[in-house]
Every structure is written in C-alpha cells, then in structure tokens.
Structure 1
Amino acid sequence: MHQLVTLDALALSAAIRSKEVSCREVMQAYLEHIEKMNPHVNAIVSLRPPEELLDEAKRADQLLAQGRYLGWMHGMPQAPKDLASCKGLPTSKGSPLSSMAPDQSDATCVARVRDAGAIFIGKTNVSEFGLGSNSYNPLFGVTRNAYDFSRIAGGSSGGAGAALAMRMLPVADGSDMMGSLRNPAAFNNVYGFRPTQGRVPYGSGGELFLQQLSTEGPMGRTVADVARLFATQAGYDPQCPLSSDTDVTGDAAQLKRDFKGARIGWLGNYDGYLPIEEEVMVLCEAALSDFADIGCTVEQCRPDYPMEKLWETWLVHRQWLVGGNLSVYFADPARRGLLKPEAQWEVESGQYLTAADVFRASMARSDWYRAIHKLFEQFDYLLLPSAQMFPFDVATKWPRNVAGREMDTYHRWMEVVIGPTLAGLPAMSVPVGFGANGLPMGMQIIGPSRDDRGVLQLAYALEGLRPWSAQAPLAVIDALSR
C-alpha cells in the first residue's frame, strides 16, 4: 500500500502545500489503491476516467508552481455523497428514477470543497434516496463493511464510511437525517459529525424551508480532519435561508481543552426502552471510564419525556417530508414500482397525514427539545450508543429483531439516533472499540445547540486517550495490496 494513502487529510494537505509530494503523485497513488480496494467494498461509484483525473492533478501542480494555492484541499481527491449535486458528475441517489446526466452545478457544501481545491473523482455509494441505514441500491449494489466484507457498511453515507476506513479517501462528506453520518462512522471505526441544524447550508436546490431534519456534515479518520472539513462546509449562505454563521475553526490547536469538572450524562438505552445488543452496551459503558480519565464526571440520566411518543413524532415528520419528496414518483404507476417497498411505505403513510397531525408532531418535537434543554442545565454533554447492533449480513435488507425485540418498521433498529436529529443538536459518533466479532462500534457525543466546537473538543480529548481509529483494517488492506 502506498504511503500517501495512509496519511490523514491534514498531513496530506501539508505535504502537498510544501511540495514534498505532487498532486499528480497523490492522485496516482489513490487511483491505484482504489482499483485494488473498491471491488471488495463497493464504496466509490461513478468513478471518472483516470486520465482526466491525472490531468486535473497536473494542472493543480502547475498552479502551485505559479504560487497559486487554492486552499487546504488543493489537489486532494474527493468523492461527494451520491445525494449531493456535483458539477460534471451524475447524482443518481441510488435510484433508476434519477437522471444519470452530469449535474450542471454544485450543492453549497460541494462548492465550498471545490473552492478549497479538491478534485472530485466520483461519488460515494448510498442507500436508495438515502432511505435506511444500509447502503444498497439497484444501480450499484451494496457497500460492504471495511472490517468484514460480509457485513454492511451502514448508511446512508455507507460509501463514505467504508471509503475512509479503506484509505480510498483522505476525508469525506455525508448527510444525516436518521444517523447517516453517525451510523456508518460507528460501523467503520471512523468519526462522523452531525452539526447543529443550519450550521452547514443544506441545498441549495429544491425546497428550502420545511426540511429541518437532514443536514450535511463531515467524516474523517481523525477529529482534526473532521473539524477542518466542517470549517470548510459551514457558514451562512444567502441561498439557504435557514443556514447560520459558525465560530468553529479548522485550527487543530483550538481543539485542545481541559475537561476537568465537565458533567456528562449517560442516556444508555433510556432505562430499557431501546433494545440494544448486550455487547454494544458493554463497549459503550466501558468507554465511560475514558471520560472520567480526562476529568469528567459521568452520571446516568434520562429526559423527562415519553420515548414512545418521540418515535411517533419521528414517524410523522419523516413520512411528511419523505412522502412529499417522493410523491412525484409514487403518483405515476409506471415509476412507482421502481421505488423500493420501504420508500413506497413512507409515501403511502404520509398520504394519510393531516395538517393537525403535522402540527401536533411539531408541538411534540418542541416539547422534546425543551426536555433535552433541561438536561443541559445539569449536564454539559450527553452520551448515547451510535447504533443498537453491530453491522449485519449484507444479504439482509434490514433486521427484523434486535436484542430479542421485533422491529415493526424498516428503520426502527436505528431509533437510537432520532433524539439529536429532532432536537437539531450537534452529535458526533466516536469510536469506542471492537466487539468479540472484530467489528467496530461507536458512541454519540451530544452537545447543546450551537456547541459544535465543544463536541469536537470533547471528541479530540478522547481521541488523545484512545485513538481507536488508528486501528484501521490495515492487515486486510495490506493483504489485498500484495
């Protein structure tokens, strides 16, 4: 394996800027590595021709020679998630219903990465229309886990998570509605950060006001890389009216913070409400001692809120938004059959919602925010597992049973992630180790609204104590590289 693909994003950036290595050398190393690795995990799709990419990298070197430095991602290969528009590449959304014509413009977060100097090599694979935490679709197939090719990579940013872990990208973007940045990060032993709602402009195409569940954000193998990409993505955009300014910096030095005396609330499984595999809980509970080792006090807590009501609230919001988004396909019988059954169920369920249903759900969501806000009067940060089970077999679309409890929908096995989403809070999945099966797991650090910097700082402090992400699947990669 080429040494260049093992570098973290900031180290690679520094090497390019100092001209220790050329952009063309970097691109060549990554393309050779992707050619060997990608067939095993199916993480990167719509890959552009190598000669085009090498020519772009050569032009990036020429700019450097002229003293023109575009930014910290100058000449670095990137692959946006296949839900985000990227000029010159198709955005399939994992569906045969989408046009495969190249996009004519960039989504806001993609444009900012382009402005920072990145070269887009392709897209990362997703679940169909981003629905479900398993990245499979009829166009490209399933993305496999970096630590066990027989298991799923999570989703819907599964391609991003697996590509990062397999060293096919230095850093990656994703989006998160129902854990789509957090779940694949946990399943692939990397970091995935869902920012405060509005920190990263969402769009800027399509509906701009009602969609307040999903947000785009960064993934990386180190917290410093995640923070740097977040600083690139974040900030107000007048084309996205619900976006906001941010004071988060990409300077790694500002991630250092003393957490002595910080108060941490452990939500666990909400006092038995959530079915979570025993070993997932064991790993997360063992990681609580790491918070104590950096000076925090950890106590178990629970929000004063009926958790089943939160799930009902989630269903209304999700079906309302997903149903509206996909209704144009569902209305046409010829196209309806091309939607996977779970997508059809979302639209069908949404058709029965009334304005009163949506308003009541919004009131319930508001009450949930107030309940979590009250917890933050006692605690600085909250903790939850990132998933309720380890990655399952790729032949399984979604699990019907978790920890002995039947799942009544295709996405209930990821119920653990909906709390931060509905409250619009920053939440970061950090690695917490490996199960006896050799599979990784993560835990969510949840901060108060707009304390994105604090969440990153706490993750950085933990990384210094337990750099789990350094234990990448290098043995697998080395074996495949021979």
Structure 2
Amino acid sequence: MELNQVSAVELVADLQAGRLTAAALMQATLERIAEVNGEVNAIVALRPADDLMQEAEAADRADARGPLHGLPIAIKDLVNVAGIASTSGSPALKDFVPETDDELARRLRATGAIVIGKTNTPEFGLGSHTFNPVYGATLNPYDATRSCGGSSGGAAVALATGMLALADGSDMMGSLRNPAAWNNVYGLRPSWGRVPSEPTGEMFLHQLSTLGPMARSPEDIGLLLDVLSGPDPRHPHGTTSAAASPVTPCGTEGLRIGWLGDWGGAIPMEDGILALCEKALGVFSDFGCQVELVPPPFSAEEMWNSWIDLRSWAVSNSLGALYDAQAELKDSAIWEIERGLEMSGRQIQHASAIRSNWFRCAAELFERYDALVLPSAQIWPFDVTQPYPTQINGVAMDTYHRWMQVTVPVSLIGLPALAMPAGFGTGGLPMGMQMFGKRGSDANLLALGAAYHAATQWPQSRPARPNQTKEAKQ
C-alpha cells in the first residue's frame, strides 16, 4: 500500500519503531500534494518544501516527543498558527501571520507533529461550502464540479485524497459532519468541552462550536482525539475524559440504535439519501443490533428557532469587532451579526430554555437507546459555483443555512457525534450518516464506529482519485 493511504495509527507506529523516517514520510507527503492539490485546492499556505524537509530530518535525529512525532499535518485555517498566514478565509485577515500558536496548534506541535500549512475553509467558517475570497474554492475529489462541504472542507478533501493521514476540524453546524459525508471520510464532533476552545474573549455563554478530529477510520480519529482532548486551566468548561485510543470494535449484540430519518418529514431530504443511510444501518442489524425507527421526539421547528437565535448571538459576539471596524465581510456574516445585535436578553433566555427542554428530552431517549442516527446531510454535493442551496425537493430554504438543519439536534445541546461514510448514490457521490449519543459517550461511539468500519471500509474501498476529475471540470 502506498504511504498516502496508510492509516495514521500505522504511520506513527512505523515512525516510532524506526521502520519509517519522518523525512521519507514528508517527501511522500509533498509529492502527493504536488500531484493532487492543484486539482482540489484543499491545502493552502503550504510552507516551503526545503524548510519542511529540514524539520523532518531534525525530527529523525531527535528523541520522540509524543504520539504524533514526525507526522505531517495541516491545520484548519480558522486556527492561528505561529509563522503561517492565518486568514480565516477573510480579506480582512489575508496578511495576518500570528506570532503565537492557538492552543490546538500548540498541542499538535507538542506531540511532535510537523505543521506543513493550513486546510481551506469558508470565510470565518460560515456555511457548509468551502470557498473564500483569499484562496478560492476547494473542489470535491469525487466530482470537481461539486462542493466538498464545509467548513472543514479542506481537511476532508486532504484526507480523502491521501495528502494527510489526520486532520483537525471544527463543528458548529455540521462543519465536521457534512464534509465527512461528502468526501467519504470520518469526523467526530466531540462532547462539548472535551476539546477546549481557544481561551479568549467571553468563555461562559456560547456552547455551540467545538474543535474535533477527522480521519479515514475511527481508530485514527481516536488517536487525534486524545491529542486534542484535556482541560485547559484557562477555560471554565474543560472536562477530563478517559483516553479513547486505541480504539477497538465493541461487542454489538443487543445494542439498540434509533433511526430518526427525516424527523417525521420535518427535515427535507433529497431523493436517495434516506434509502442509502437505511441500507448502511443494515450493517448494524447484521451485527445483532436492534435498529428501530424513532418518531420525532421534539419539535424540529422549535429547535431551529432556538438554534438560529443562539448562533447569531454567538457570531455577533465573535465577529462584532470586525463589523464595527467596517471590515469587508461576506453577506452571511453580516446577516448573522446584525441579527445577533438586535436580540434582547429575553429572546436569548427563551432560545436557551428550548435548548434545555431538548436536552432533557434527549436524556430520556438515551435511557432507551445506545445511539441515535440521522443523515449527515440533506442534499448531495451541489454545484461548486452556487453559494448555497436555495431549495430541497421544491421546499424553499429561508436562510443561507437552512439546508443544514439536520445537524442542529446534535449541535444545539453539545452531544458527541461520529460522522460515518454511508456509501455512494447512483451519481457516484458519497453520503454519510451521523451517529450520536449522550454527553461523554465519545469512546463508545468510536468503538461502535470501528465495528462498522471493519465491515465496510468505505474510505479504503472507494478512495478519491482527483487526477481523474479534469473532464468533470471542462
């Protein structure tokens, strides 16, 4: 097997045992990037090859510092990385080169990972479609005329094409889950607080977004999750969790899995998505799991209204200073900020009360089910030139992000969710499903996902081949 398809678990084992050098892995990584990145535009702000080779050679001479020692990694361009342009995809930050690392970058470097550059993202991570005015669009490696999703689109594409073995992402409204689905890889939205956010600004009120790992298997997800996890004493909501790695398949006989489908018809879905996910769920039935259709447990519209208010409130908090400075911002960012600025404290209290009601309802569900499942996306990858979908099966989308509503039940209350490949539709495009559980069940979800992966091997059996997408772009 070529190095670009070897698992991260195998790569780090070979590096630590001396069967593979960091220099050889870096050379193979740079060759793979040169071969395919021009087709998909997933990795941006790539550091000079000579500098990276020197760093890899130094890693070979040094004592191993941690579990990722010598492994190349690119960090999502919403994270500040010292010495590397950190733009968040925004013209307002296109020349910004931080002097210090954000905590995520610091943790990766502390384990010995070699940071080679960034992965592309939508401007400020808004919208599940990776394009921005700084670096342009990242293309889907299964069809270069289609979106790769987002906001962790560059990360997902880099994994799917073998340019990286591990990638970090972040998820407010499906930003780990949607691109995982559309690129045939895995992504984990951790329990909120397991992976601490950057300890800056206001840190008590906003519990919507989280950082998390992406990879081509649950085993690799567990490896990176342990690196990113752990409390930060500067952050008030950090949690201490048991190690997730090594991930091994769990016993499945008798487990109960609830299938929520399209939430009783409340969440529009394009044709073929539900059928594909139901077929994938058959794998769990074959394992001896009891898979049941779950009636809508809570009002989808109430969740949606709670979500958009809390999200706008959070975005207005994080981007308000740029708005006040009249920085150049995209329309969706301005829409979110202005909605948030107009909200009263009573509106926010009402939105959070709905969130609390859903949390209590979900807690009762998890007394009956070991995991719940929804599709990871409501539509197949769409035209890459389209900013966002405006309708699904004739149902008009009333906001720029309504087409991502299926991610809200998880995001609203900070549950862990493993995005898993579900296979391919009739058009040859990938799709996925999100399996989620109660807070703190991250390791259980990974173990159940590992059993599924052992039986399906979707990323390995249908690897992306971006060098075959030229005709699709013509």
State if a TM-score over 0.5 links the two structures.
yes
Select 2:108's aligned residue among 104, 109, 113: 113
Q: CA deviation at 1:479?
A: 9.1
Q: Are 1:230 and 2:220 counterparts?
A: no
Residues 129-173 of structure 1 show CA distances to partners (whole Å, capped at 9, x for unaligned) of 010000110000011111111111100000000000010111100
Which residue in 1 is equivalent to 2:168?
Answer: 173
Q: CA deviation at 1:427?
A: 0.4
CA contact (8 A) 1:400 1:406 kept: yes
Q: Are 1:251 and 2:246 counterparts?
A: yes
Which residue in 1 is equivalent to 2:434?
Answer: 444
Which residue in 2 is equivalent to 1:144?
Answer: 139
CA contact (8 A) 1:146 1:473 kept: no
Q: Secondary structure at the match of 1:80?
A: strand
Which residue in 2 is equivalent to 1:420?
Answer: 410
Which residue in 2 is equivalent to 1:21?
Answer: 20
- Give the counterpart letter for 2:306 in structure 1: T
Q: Are 1:292 and 2:282 counterparts?
A: no
C-alpha distance in structure 2 between counterparts of 1:205 and 1:105, whole Å: 13
Q: Secondary structure at the match of 1:24?
A: helix
Q: CA deviation at 1:99?
A: 5.6
Which residue in 2 is equivalent to 1:350?
Answer: 340
Deviates more, 1:391-400 or 1:233-242: 233-242
Select 2:234's aligned residue among 224, 228, 239: 239
CA contact (8 A) 2:89 2:120 kept: yes
Which residue in 2 is equivalent to 1:103?
Answer: 98
Residues 342-388 of structure 1 show CA distances to partners (whole Å, capped at 9, x for unaligned) of 11111121122100000111111000111111111211110000000
Q: CA deviation at 1:302?
A: 3.1
Structure-1-length-normalised TM-score: 0.95
Residues 78-99 of structure 1 show CA distances to partners (whole Å, capped at 9, x for unaligned) of 0110011222212100001126
CA contact (8 A) 2:142 2:465 kept: no
Q: Secondary structure at the match of 1:83?
A: coil
- Give the counterpart letter for 1:314 in structure 2: W
Q: CA deviation at 1:229?
A: 0.5
Indicate how the Cα distance of structure 1 residues 478 and 137 shifts in structure 2: closer, same or farther if over 3 A, else same: closer
Q: Are 1:30 and 2:29 counterparts?
A: yes
CA contact (8 A) 1:5 1:29 kept: yes
Map 1:119-134 to 2 at 5 A. Answer: 119-134=114-129
Deviates more, 1:85-94 or 1:38-47: 85-94
C-alpha distance in structure 2 between counterparts of 1:407 and 1:395, whole Å: 18
Residues 169-225 of structure 1 show CA distances to partners (whole Å, capped at 9, x for unaligned) of 111000000000001000000000000000001113333222210000000001100
RMSD: 1.5
Indicate how the Cα distance of structure 1 residues 404 and 103 shifts in structure 2: closer, same or farther if over 3 A, else same: same
Which residue in 1 is equivalent to 2:259?
Answer: 266
Which residue in 1 is equivalent to 2:79?
Answer: 84
Unpaired segments ≥5 residues, structure 1: none
Q: CA deviation at 1:475?
A: 4.6
Which residue in 1 is equivalent to 2:52?
Answer: 53
Which residue in 2 is equivalent to 1:359?
Answer: 349
Deviates more, 1:8-17 or 1:162-171: 8-17
Residues 241-271 of structure 1 show CA distances to partners (whole Å, capped at 9, x for unaligned) of 211001133113xx23111111111110011
C-alpha distance in structure 1 between counterparts of 2:203 and 2:51, whole Å: 35
Q: Secondary structure at the match of 1:278?
A: coil
C-alpha distance in structure 2 between counterparts of 1:118 and 1:168, whole Å: 15
Q: CA deviation at 1:444?
A: 0.4
Q: Secondary structure at the match of 1:383?
A: strand
- Give the counterpart letter for 1:6 in structure 2: Q
Q: Are 1:155 and 2:150 counterparts?
A: yes
Map 1:319-358 to 2 at 5 A. Answer: 319-333=312-326, 335=327, 338-358=328-348
- Give the counterpart letter for 1:387 in structure 2: A
- Give the counterpart letter for 1:143 in structure 2: T
Identity %: 44
Q: Are 1:471 and 2:470 counterparts?
A: no
Select 2:196's aligned residue among 192, 195, 201: 201
CA contact (8 A) 1:95 1:129 kept: yes
